[in-house]
Amino acid sequence: MLTLRQLFLNNNAQTTHFPLLLEFDRAEGVYIYEESGKAYIDLISGIGVSNLGHSHPKVVQAVKDQAEKYMHLMVYGEYVQTPQVRFAEKLVSLLPAALNSVYFTNSGTEAVEGAIKLAKRYTGRPNILAYENSYHGSTHGALSVMGNEEFKQAYRPLLPGTGFLRLNNFDDLERINHQTACVILETVQGEAGVRVPQKAYMQALRQRCSQTGTLLILDEIQAALGRTGKLFAFEHFDIVPDILLMAKALGGGMPIGAFVSSVEIMSAFKENPILGHITTFGGHPVCCAAGLAALEVLLDEDLISGVAEKEAIIREHLQHPAIKEVRGTGLMLAIEFESFDTNKKIIDTCIQNGVITDWFLHCSNSMRIAPPLIITQKELLHACEIIKLAIAQHSVK
């Protein structure tokens, strides 16, 4: 009889020749457990998803309660469904007044697609500007605004009229003009190895977009909902985007994304043509119920207030001559080493010793540190000790 691992390799599509092949039985809090009972600290939150850890009881209960009432009823935007309405109402109450219309999607990459369509439709302009080393998802439109040729060259031709700016380069802002529909930027660049823009640059970008009538899209698919120490990462820069993107942690572990704009801009989808963006499962009632429960836990338990202190613990305890730099903000950090080879050996040893971490698509010599916001200081110190032991084992003497 075939093992579960063999069935996985036989029947589940693979995207690398070397999947991790870890087999997990359950997950709770910051831990994921093998069937044997071995526990792993999830130091990457399922790549930014599990801000509340795994299987938070209030989120699980919300899922159960909604599933008993109804699940899928109709394509998005036709029926008045309580979970969608209440979740959108809560999000809008926490956002600036200009961000008052929420379109729920299946995922982050669909939020990107919807936002790009909306910008082109609203402005009537053909061109898009994105950033070098950016990551916005894997669908064709999202690939078009990815700033890494290695990961998209095999899928060309992509969207025409797309160009790339350099982060924190003020001169490049002159390329934003009256033919630019939108500029799309991760508020904190994730897969580039957690690159935080300069505040002055972000404010100059906002000003240039306003001057030219260009819509500013901020991708907070990884950075929103407390990860950087603010509810929304754009709050660090004292600016407001025209369109905000969210996903990952938005559903408390359930799949959902969103793009948020003004009622005026979002109304562009209503005509020429009508039904300007259609999604069958976007804003699924169970996912919206889970997302609302997760957001309420995040706020009610004041989890964001502890992020800066936990960042400081990581920075204090992860010090070693082999570490070239610690970058990022809040609990969205990158630990840079000399090479991918060194980084990968350290990561593999950490996983063997019960700490799950990872590297970045566009910065392979850096380790990802993005634990659930609920992680305790004791758990964080334990994880740091395991990382330091792995560094000591593999660093050049």
Strand partners, 189: 195
**Once rounded to an integer, what is the mean pLDDT over residues 226-248?**
98
Q: What percent of the chain has pLDDT over 90?
A: 92
**Once rounded to an integer, what is the mean pLDDT over residues 320-348?**
96
Neighbours of 155 (CB within 10 A): 13
Instruction: Answer positive or negative: Cα dihedral of 322, 324, 328, 332.
Output: negative
pLDDT digits over 31-50, tens only? 999 999 999 999 999 999 99
* Whole-angstrom distance, CA of residue 186 vs CA of residue 219: 4
Calculate Rg over the CA atoms of the chain. 21
Looking at per-residue pLDDT, the higher value among 8 and 303 belongs to 303
> Do 279 and 110 meet the contact criterion of CB atoms below 8 Å apart?
yes
pLDDT digits over 171-199, tens only? 999 999 999 999 999 999 999 999 999 99
* Whole-angstrom distance, CA of residue 130 vs CA of residue 178: 16
Q: What percent of the chain has pLDDT over 70?
A: 99
What pLDDT sits at residue 202?
98
Residue 79 pLDDT > 70:
yes
Strands 162-165 and 26-28: unpaired
* Residues sharing a CB contact under 8 Å with residue 41, sequence separation 6 or more, in sequence order: 30, 31, 354, 355, 356, 371, 375, 379, 382, 383
Q: Count the residues in the chain.
A: 397
The DSSP-derived string for 98-122 is T--EEEEESSHHHHHHHHHHHHHHH
Residue 163 pLDDT > 90:
yes
- pLDDT band for position 361 (50/70/90)? very high
Strand partners, 257: 105
Alpha helices (runs of H) in the chain, residue ranges in sequence order: 4-11, 45-48, 57-69, 82-94, 108-123, 140-144, 199-212, 263-266, 285-300, 307-317, 340-352, 377-394
What pLDDT sits at residue 18?
84
- pLDDT band for position 396 (50/70/90)? low
> Do 187 and 133 meet the contact criterion of CB atoms below 8 Å apart?
no
